[in-house]
Amino acid sequence: MLLRRVIGDALRARRQAQHRTLREVSTAANVSLGYLSEIERGQKEASSELLAAICEALGAALSEVLRDVSDTLALSEDLPPVLVPVGAPDSASQSAASPVAAPGSSDEAAVPAVEPAAAAASAGPEARLNRGTPKAKISADAKLSVAVHHDGPLRTTLRASRGPIDREREVVYAA
C-alpha cells in the first residue's frame, strides 16, 4: 500500500465530507487544481509544507490527517488475504472466511462468509471476481469492524468502524 495513495484518500475523504470542490480547496490552499487532484489520487507526493497548507484549507490539523492515515495503514497491515482461487478451498481460505470474534461477543452470525475471488496470476483463466459483495468482515474486538469490498479489478473499498457506540467513527477508503 502506497503512503501517497493513503494520504490522498484521507484528504479526499475530508474534502468530500465537507461537500467542498477541488477548486475551493485548491484556491484556499494556494495549490493548483490539477496538482491537488493528483495528490488526492495518489499520483503525486505532497511535501510537508504543501500537506500542511491543504490540511489548513480543510480546517484539519495535520496530525489528525496523519492519524487517519496511520489508522488505515495499521488496519491494512493486520488484514488477512481475502483473494483465493476459485475451486481451491483449503484451510487457508477457510480461516480467512471465519472472522476473528471478540471474547464473549455473540455477533458472529452477522458476519458474511468469504466468497472465492480472483487470486494471483497463478490462478489461471478460471479465476473470477465477484463484484460489489463483501469478501471479508473481520472483528478483532467488540470495538472494531472491518469490511472489504472488491468492486472490480481496480477498485477495492475498505470500510472500518471503531470506537465505543456513543463515539463511533466510520472510516471508508477506496482504491
Q: Quick check: 30 pLDDT over 90? A: yes
CA 45 to chain centre: 19
Secondary structure class of 57 (helix, strand, coil):
helix
Q: How many domains does the chain have?
A: 2
Average predicted confidence (pLDDT) for the chain: 70
Structure confidence by residue, pLDDT tens digits, 89-102: 544 444 444 444 44
> Residue 114: exposed, middle, or buried by beta-carbon count in 10 A (0-12, 13-18, 19+)?
buried
Q: Are residues 63 and 13 in the same domain?
A: yes
In a domain, residue 58? The reply is yes
CATH number of the CATH domain containing 14: 1.10.260.40
Domain membership of residue 15 (yes or no) is: yes
Residue with the larger pLDDT of the pair 27 and 86 = 27
List pLDDT tens digits, range 38-83: 999 999 999 999 999 999 999 999 999 999 999 998 888 877 665 5
Provide CB contacts within 8 A for 14, sequence distance 6+.
58, 60, 65
123 and 54 in one domain?
no
My answer on whether 9 and 60 are in the same domain is yes
Q: Which of 9-18, 64-73, 81-90, 126-135 has the lowest mean pLDDT?
A: 126-135
Q: Amino acid identity, residue 96? A: A
User: Which residue range forms the structural domain that includes residue 166?
Assistant: 91-174
Strands (E) across the chain are located at 134-141, 144-152, 155-162, 169-174
Average pLDDT over residues 150-167: 65
